[in-house]
Amino acid sequence: MKAPSFAYARPQSLEETFDLLDRHGEGARLLAGGQSLIPSLNMRLSAPEVLVDINALPGMAEIRQDRGVLRIGALVRHTQIEKSEEVAKHAPLLAQAVRHVAHPAIRNRGTIGGSLALADPAAEYPACMVAMDATIVLAGRGGERLVKAVDFFKGLFETDRQPGEVLVAVEIPAQLKDERSVFLELTRRHGDYAIVGLAAFKGQETRFAFLNVGPKPFLARGAASKASVDEAKQALRAELNPTADLYNSAATKMHLAGVLMDRAWNSLST
Ligand SMILES: Cc1cc2nc3c(=O)[nH]c(=O)nc-3n(C[C@H](O)[C@H](O)[C@H](O)COP(=O)(O)OP(=O)(O)OC[C@H]3O[C@@H](n4cnc5c(N)ncnc54)[C@H](O)[C@@H]3O)c2cc1C
Domains defined for the chain, CATH in brackets: 7-56 (3.30.43.10), 63-173 (3.30.465.10), 180-269 (3.30.390.50)
Mean pLDDT of 91-106: 96
3-state secondary structure of 249: coil
H/E segment holding residue 65: strand 63-66
With the most atoms of ligand 1 within 8 angstroms of its CB, the residue from 36, 156, 166 to mutate is 36
Threshold 0.95, pTM exceeds: yes
Residue 1 has pLDDT above 80, yes or no: no
**Polymer length of the chain:** 270
Who's near 196: CB < 8 A, 6+ residues apart? 185, 186, 210, 211, 212, 213, 242, 253, 256, 257, 260
Kindly report the average pLDDT of the chain as a whole number. 96
3-state secondary structure of 231: helix
Residue 137 has pLDDT above 80, yes or no: yes
pLDDT 10s digits, 198-257: 999 999 999 999 999 999 999 999 999 999 999 999 999 999 999 999 999 999 999 999
- What integer pLDDT is reported at residue 190 of this predicted model? 82
3-state secondary structure of 181: strand
The phi, psi pair for 225, rounded to 5°, reads -90, 0
- Which candidate, 254, 259, 216, 210, places its Cα nearest to that of 119? 216
pLDDT-based confidence at residue 270 (cuts at 50, 70, 90):
confident
Which residue is closest in CA terms to ligand 1's atom 9? 101
Q: What is the DSSP letter of 205?
A: S
- What integer pLDDT is reported at residue 46 of this predicted model? 87
Atom of ligand 1 at shortest range from CA of 32: 30
Mean pLDDT of 55-78: 97
Query: Hey, what long-range contacts does 105-108 have (CB within 8 A, 24 or more apart)?
Result: 106/35, 106/78, 107/77, 107/78, 107/79, 107/82, 108/77, 108/78, 108/79
Mean pLDDT of 63-81: 97
Who's near 22: CB < 8 A, 6+ residues apart? 164
Report how far ligand 1's centroid is from the alpha carbon of 33 (Å). Answer: 7
Mean pLDDT of 116-124: 97
With the most atoms of ligand 1 within 8 angstroms of its CB, the residue from 6, 10, 35, 152 to mutate is 35
pLDDT-based confidence at residue 92 (cuts at 50, 70, 90):
very high
pLDDT-based confidence at residue 104 (cuts at 50, 70, 90):
very high
- What integer pLDDT is reported at residue 2 of this predicted model? 85
Share of the chain above pLDDT 70, in %: 100
- Secondary structure in 3-state letters for 14-39: HHHHHHHHHHHHHHEEEECCCCCHHH
Atom of ligand 1 at shortest range from CA of 75: 41
Atom of ligand 1 at shortest range from CA of 111: 25
- What integer pLDDT is reported at residue 152 of this predicted model? 98
Please give the order of strands across the beta sheet that includes 206-211: 180-186, 196-202, 206-211, 218-219
34 lines ligand 1 (CB under 6 A): yes
Report how far ligand 1's centroid is from the alpha carbon of 31 (Å). Answer: 9
pLDDT 10s digits, 155-192: 999 999 999 999 999 999 999 999 999 999 999 888 78
